[in-house]
Structure 1
Amino acid sequence: MKSLIMKNCASVKMAKSFHSKSQLEPSKNLKSFLADEVQKVEEWWEKPRFKNVQRPYTALDVVKHRGCVPADVTRYPSSFQSQKLFQLLEEKFEKKLPLHTLGVIDPVQMSQLARCKEIEVTYISGWACSSTLVGSTNEVSPDFGDYPYNTVPNQVERIFKSQQMHDKKLFLEKVNGATKDTTTNYLKPIIADADMGHGGSTTVMKLAKLFAEKGAAAIHLEDQLVGGKKCGHLGGVVIVPTSTHLSRLIATRFQWDMMGTENLLIARTDSCNGKLLSSSSDPRDHEFIKGVIKPNLKPWSDRLIELENQSGVTSSQIASEESEWFNTHEVCTFDEAVQKQVSEADYAKYRELRESALAEKPFLSLTDMKNLVQQAAPTKVVHFDWDVPRTKEGYYLYNGCLAAAVKRSLAFAPYADMIWLETKTPDLKQAKSFAAKIHEVYPHVKLVYNLSPSFNWSSHGYDAEGLRNFIWDLAKHGFVLQLVSLAGLHVDGLAFWQLAKAFGQRGMQAYVELVQRPEKTENSDVLTHQKWSGAEYVDSVVKVLQNGSSSQTLSTSGDAFTETQF
């Protein structure tokens, strides 16, 4: 008790000290406060946690936008969880082992994951939230990122609070000697899906703030367009310029720096499969934009408007003409356009000049490439127009490929903690190639892989041993974090379908055979769902509040407690 009183007195002194420091009069106090806080931030950034993280802003930029309250006054639990996650990733990456997990959709699945010693983190999917969790609009829908941006953070809060509740329950059992469980860990760090950030830089900052406040140790941001976002395994994905996604990553880090948290940031790229680009503003994207080589073509968007304004033209006719237009007018990248319009010798010279130029800087703009063609083939005119085939929405055609994903990931890596390559198939060869190219430049970069249930895993040539080893084979190449994003969704649907079908035919026999007996055989803690929910924990709290009185009449473990039957 004495130590508690002394601690409280120290807290009061600290508060008084801060109150006096936070006064902005006279200016001397402000300068002293700024200098102290800047020094704290700079020392914080020197920690091993941030040794590979770049920031295009200063500690002063952080402090002067933070306000008068020092960051060390407020400690967010998510920052504590992120420290655990960082250490896990460091250890696994060094040993070339995976940190693999399953996506959960509710507190029940979280609690079962907690009992698995080999699974050390938790994942929450935006797809699952979009399709199963009603947000403030009470709508469910496909993963188009069109739900309120607080939907996934709210699911994080739901899961994190349930983690905390079950952790308290287990801790009390350990203190009371009621359990010998040494493997269950309810506080497994949460990794959450932040989609594409749901807006501009300020929206991204608000989203990052929500995730940090509500318990996510890490989030991933993808380089898709707000309004054009789709699940990475659907067609029609629109990606944003490299610079736009870099702004999202920087905004997220800046927000967390203002909060004083160490949450981890995963930069995901969908450029390996993306076929559309929202803007040609970033020269780093130019080599992957497609255009036409035939001169004086009417833009497809112009022709589309003409068709839409003609009476009697059906959507199927428009679709047919669109298909015919793109089949007739070949589209290609600028490099391909050069190859098609100059001699073999001139193209070889162009490639030589191109490689030499890329040794000086990591990318070439369209203007740069045109100038190189003029040097390699001064008498030739190379026609290339990337505006002609643009879509009705103004999107550019994009050559999504592994090379594009590599270039983007190399641009994102200095500002992120991990890099996620989104793929359309479970391809070990592709993954190894990607990892080799990234680690050639940044050997420290940790990679992320989506073990997606969208893949038909049985149709890609893997035998039982190949499937069993897939995760560990990937980990050898630096794909440390791996996840089956929608595992919880599929298990939930399958198990309940099996029960519902059998229950309709066999009633309680089906329930007992499919649920209750397997629960007992597998030692499932949900068998005794009252205890699982924390009834005994709350009972203990009530006894403290009641000072032991009415324990016989108010106790949850009285004669009416049916779980004694088990």
Structure 2
Amino acid sequence: MSSKLLNSKLYINSKALTKTLKNKRFIHDNGSPYIDSKEDIASIEKWWSSPRYMDLKRDHTSLDIVKHRGNLSLQNYTKYPSSFQADKLFNLVNSHFNEKKPLHTLGVIDPLQMSQLAKCKEIKVSYISGWACSSTLVGSTNEVSPDFGDYPYDTVPNQVERIFKAQQLHDRKYMLSNFNSSGSKKEEVDYLKPIIADADMGHGGLTSVMKMAKLFAEKGAAGIHLEDQLMGGKKCGHLGGSVVVPTATHLSRLKATRFQWDLMGTNNLIIARTDSLNSRLLSSCVDPRDHAFIKGIINKNEKPLSDTIIDTQSAIDISKDDFAAIEENWYDKNKLYTYDEAVELQLSNEEFNQYKSLKAKLTNTKMDKNYFSIYEMREITRQVAPNKTVHFDWDAPKTIEGHYMFNGCTEAAIQRSIAFAPYADLIWLETKTPDLNEATNFARKIHSVYPNTKLVYNLSPSFNWMENGFTPDTLKSFIWDLAKEGFVLQLVSLAGLHVDGVSFWELAKDFQYNGMKSYVDIVQRKEKEINCDILTHQKWSGAEYIDSIMNVVNNGSSSKTQSTTGSSYTESQF
């Protein structure tokens, strides 16, 4: 082997491989491979033209990927296991969407729950919640807390790795048991159900989003969801006070995620989630697509709220109650309106109708643009009422953090979702209540523009389900009714958390008084009745699987004396 090759940037330990490279690519004089960009570009474009990406848009090119990937081509990249799982998830999503059937699942918080979910044939995917990780398993800090997205960004990816490795162990254990079953047919169990994971808002700028996407792909997530909340202002979608980012900001997150996965050569799925239905704050007015939903005041020459707050904070002897009252009084004095509402209040009925008619006419003539900026809306106002000035100030009511007042509503969620849809595999609408009419309206508006867009619904434990007008029949059919409207992926995000709490509380409450009778009655007897494999927890954990491996490694030596199933094996009692 030549010294030139030894000193090359990429060490190649095979003459055959070098010969292949010379045949397919150019080799530099120093022996390092020179990527044939035309060949790589063609390979990537063939990949992107597959049915997998039929409905997706990219703003970057195949050349952008080649230039940033390095000397390892797509063919030489390691195929990440998560990409195989992503292909499986993609096929499931598409088949269920086409059949108008739900792909419904329960959020799991540990390997045990994962293993039980695996045995349910009609539940075909797994879900890992950021809320659950925040409250029960927070990585390096060990600080459990509410869902404010303030934990280390590798927390959920690490939980994904934990669950994915457990899936693989139980899958291997299951395969071994099939080989040892002496021909008897065993129940089919899919332990490798694709994992969908919560990526929150991306935990930072675009480089953080890309690093986190890379972690998820490396650790086993077939898909992730990203929400349009503000880093640092993120809250659970069912808490008040959440702040959404401009539409363009979230689009950048989706594009960065796809770019990262294209660099890695993976097919992982992106779910774009919008929290704009419930949010009342917007971090910036920079995107004209958000302008129609920003609220302002119509009072002239009004002192801004932030000025009032800071002046109040500087005053002496102001209590918290006084401070809150001053802020409340400012809002009482200055009602908030969108620009259209401000126009309606300050123009005559005839002028306002002309304003609406002109907007509708212009909407029909616009190409790929379903919104008006504040500048455009003011121009339309001037056309219909040239002698009037509509006062509208969206800066005055900004919060002390600089956030704008936002009119969170279904229309805002629809407009954002239409913007996100070309860059995502699925769209998630986060709602305040389980409302089939609201979901139907949303779905039909989206599908009028993008008929193949797959939708996601959070069957949240935050909802008081029986207080939302359900009957036993409509409660049972809700998932299937949603699926008919295209909400293919549906999940009870925190099911594992609640089940864990309920079952352990039931045991603990009774055990304190009745001891082992409680354990036998509440746990062991029930495990036997429902044939739960946790009854024999040593076997469940893989003890027999490891025993089999050691038997192979030791060529059968000490198989009796060191076997886990020897005379001391207590589970032989069952």
TM-score interval w.r.t. the shorter chain? over 0.9
After superposition, residues 53-68 of structure 1 pair within 5 angstroms as 53-68=56-71
C-alpha displacement of 1:134: 2.9
Q: Where does the alignment leave 5 or more consecutive residues of structure 2 unmatched?
A: 1-12
After superposition, residues 103-502 of structure 1 pair within 5 angstroms as 103-177=107-181, 180-359=185-364, 360=366, 361-502=369-510
Which letter does structure 2 place at the counterpart of 1:330?
Answer: K
CA–CA distance in 2 between the matches of 1:181 and 1:451? 33
> Residue 351 of structure 2: SS of its match in structure 1?
helix
Structure 2 match to 1:16: 18
Structure 1 match to 2:3: none
CA–CA distance in 2 between the matches of 1:481 and 1:68? 38
The Cα offsets for residues 421-451 of structure 1, whole Å up to 9 and x where unpaired, read as 0000000000000000000000000000000
> Residue 431 of structure 2: SS of its match in structure 1?
coil
Structure 1 match to 2:46: 43
Which letter does structure 1 place at the counterpart of 2:311?
Answer: E
Which letter does structure 1 place at the counterpart of 2:61?
Answer: T
C-alpha displacement of 1:473: 0.3
Identical positions, percent = 60
> Residue 513 of structure 1: SS of its match in structure 2?
helix
CA–CA distance in 1 between the matches of 2:385 and 2:334? 25
Which letter does structure 1 place at the counterpart of 2:97?
Answer: F
CA–CA distance in 2 between the matches of 1:338 and 1:533? 67
The Cα offsets for residues 10-35 of structure 1, whole Å up to 9 and x where unpaired, read as x9566435766788726999775222
Structure 2 match to 1:526: 534
CA–CA distance in 1 between the matches of 2:134 and 2:35? 48
Q: Where does the alignment leave 5 or more consecutive residues of structure 1 unmatched?
A: 1-10
Aligned residues: 556
CA–CA distance in 2 between the matches of 1:18 and 1:331? 69
Which residue, out of 74, 87, 91, partners 2:91?
Answer: 87
Which letter does structure 1 place at the counterpart of 2:481?
Answer: D
C-alpha displacement of 1:306: 0.5
RMSD (Å) for aligned C-alpha atoms? 1.6
CA–CA distance in 1 between the matches of 2:566 and 2:515? 30
CA–CA distance in 2 between the matches of 1:375 and 1:356? 14
Task: Name the CA shift for 1:16/1:556 in 2 (closer, same or farther; >3 Å).
Answer: farther
> Residue 551 of structure 1: SS of its match in structure 2?
coil
CA–CA distance in 2 between the matches of 1:164 and 1:290? 51
The Cα offsets for residues 146-175 of structure 1, whole Å up to 9 and x where unpaired, read as 000000000000000000000000001111
- Does residue 548 (structure 1) correspond to residue 556 (structure 2)? The answer is yes
Structure 1 match to 2:100: 96
- Contact 2:115 / 2:167 at 8 angstroms: preserved in 1? yes
Structure 1 match to 2:10: none
Structure 1 match to 2:8: none
Task: Name the CA shift for 1:14/1:309 in 2 (closer, same or farther; >3 Å).
Answer: farther
TM-score using structure 1 length: 0.96
- Contact 1:97 / 1:475 at 8 angstroms: preserved in 2? yes
> Residue 55 of structure 1: SS of its match in structure 2?
coil
> Residue 86 of structure 2: SS of its match in structure 1?
helix
C-alpha displacement of 1:63: 1.2
C-alpha displacement of 1:275: 0.3
- Contact 2:289 / 2:371 at 8 angstroms: preserved in 1? yes
Task: Name the CA shift for 1:98/1:12 in 2 (closer, same or farther; >3 Å).
Answer: farther
CA–CA distance in 2 between the matches of 1:186 and 1:325? 57
Q: Give 4+ residue runs of structure 1 displaced > 3 Å after superposition.
A: 11-24, 26-32
CA–CA distance in 1 between the matches of 2:154 and 2:398? 33
- Does residue 539 (structure 1) correspond to residue 542 (structure 2)? The answer is no
- Contact 1:22 / 1:68 at 8 angstroms: preserved in 2? no
Comparing 32-41 with 538-547, greater Cα deviation is found at: 32-41
The Cα offsets for residues 297-328 of structure 1, whole Å up to 9 and x where unpaired, read as 00000000000001110111111111111011
> Residue 553 of structure 1: SS of its match in structure 2?
coil
